[in-house]
Amino acid sequence: MKLHLVGWSFHGTPVEFRDRLSLGETAQVELADRLRNRHGVRELVILSTCNRFELYCAGSEGTSGTIIKTLVEDLGELQLGPTAYLLEDIEAVRHLFRVTSSLDSMVLGEPQIFGQVKDAYRFYTEAGWTGKLLNPIFSKAFRAAKRVRSETGIASNAVSVSYAAVQLARQIFEDLSGLSVMMVGAGEMAELALEHLVRNGLRRLMVVNRTFANAVRLAERYGGAAIQFRELESYLADADIVITSTGATSPIINVPMVQDCLRNHRGRQMFFIDIAVPRDVHPEVHDLPGAYCYDIDDLQNVVSVNQAERLQQAEEARQLLEEELVQVRHWFQELSVVPAIRKLRKTFEKTAEAEVQRFLNRSKLDAAESEEVQRMVRRILNKLLHSPSRTIRKFSGRDDQPLLLEFLHELHNLPTAPESAEPIRKQHLSLVKR
């Protein structure tokens, strides 16, 4: 059984096309049913995220090309054809390993993709779409990804401005759960920083914005309180962490304001994340005892250093994945000779069954005696086929495997040509050593 991978990702497919591939669970199941009816797909997992849409198929009667043609026609998006990538067997597994380990992500080492792959696999397993091929492959992918996480530092350093801000906050405040954050403005990076802070346990939130409706929207999304912009200074002292991202042309938070806050804090520290350009927080705030202020340049410097470190860790991760792939490659090689073993057994069993039936038709054995004869023949068959089956498995991975399987089929007059046979250049074989 062959593994097919058909996919589109941020590497070569523009976001406007990827949006059209975003299918809900119901639409995915309907697509899976069409692939089963048209191409005989027996196992399937669809991975659909904002950055990729991939189908891992097994048992298909068609090729990756015919599957992608069906997808393009069904979706009515002929432009998708040229940007698709098609991989099979070990190359498809290598790609899955890289995806699950976040080596193929837009942000190298990001942790979300591991959970997304697990969720997709769980959904299709519960729907009865995974089996003898996809179950062990995805299990091995999860094992490989966990090794990458535990044995390399690929995810230990922030490579986005928003996450870098959170890491700096954790260095200053070890525990974020009891702190209060004020978000000033509604910039994208500031909101991402807020999202990371909430994931790290932050519970108390105030949102300040010139457009009060936007403050209400964000406050409701993250379970916080919306504050009018004119009340910023009144509530500033209640915040331990302040994130700013406004369009102001001059600082909206100055030194006297922060000095008053620090006095009210009674020794507690304040942390400012200023992602605005020009800056929202006066640079001299950072010089105040107990105040820490980082602007976009500070955070970008952290990101640049961490990106270089992640690239080095990624190379170690790739080598680790190649170690894991060695076992998968051996497994695929063994699978390639399984059809020949099955055909050999089926041929022997058919011959034995015919002879046993001929004997039973002539004999006067009762039902119990007839069953005992059949059991005896099955035991003999199993013993006779045990050694040849082991020997055939040893063929897997050899350069002359197609030639040996072809010889096996001719020797035992097996019904069809070996499934794994490919056109080969037969070397000259001599029975006499020279």
Q: Give the three-class secondary structure for 375.
A: helix
Q: Per-residue b/e over 37-72, b at no fewer than 16 CB within 10 Å?
A: eebebbbbbbbbbebbbbbbbbbbebebeebbebbb
Structure-block tokens of residue 400:
């002359």
DSSP assigned state of 183:
E
Q: Give the three-class secondary structure for 86.
A: strand
Q: Are 86 and 68 in contact (CB under 8 A)?
A: yes
Q: Which regions of 117-199 does DSSP assign to beta strands (E)?
A: 180-185
Q: Give the three-class secondary structure for 326.
A: helix
Q: Per-residue b/e over 7-23, b at no fewer than 16 CB within 10 Å?
A: bbbeeebeeebbeebee
In whole angstroms, give the CA distance from residue 57 to residue 165.
41
In whole angstroms, give the CA distance from residue 141 to residue 159.
24
User: 315 Cβ partners below 8 Å, 6+ apart?
Assistant: none
**Positive or negative: CA dihedral 237, 239, 241, 244:** negative
H/E run at residue 170: helix 161-172
Q: Active site includes 261?
A: no
Q: Are 381 and 348 in contact (CB under 8 A)?
A: yes
In whole angstroms, give the CA distance from residue 82 to residue 253.
52
- According to DSSP, the β-strands at 85-88 and 3-9 are antiparallel
Please tell me which residue in 50, 57, 261, 293 is annotated as part of the active site: 50
Where in the sequence numbering do the catalytic residues fall? 50
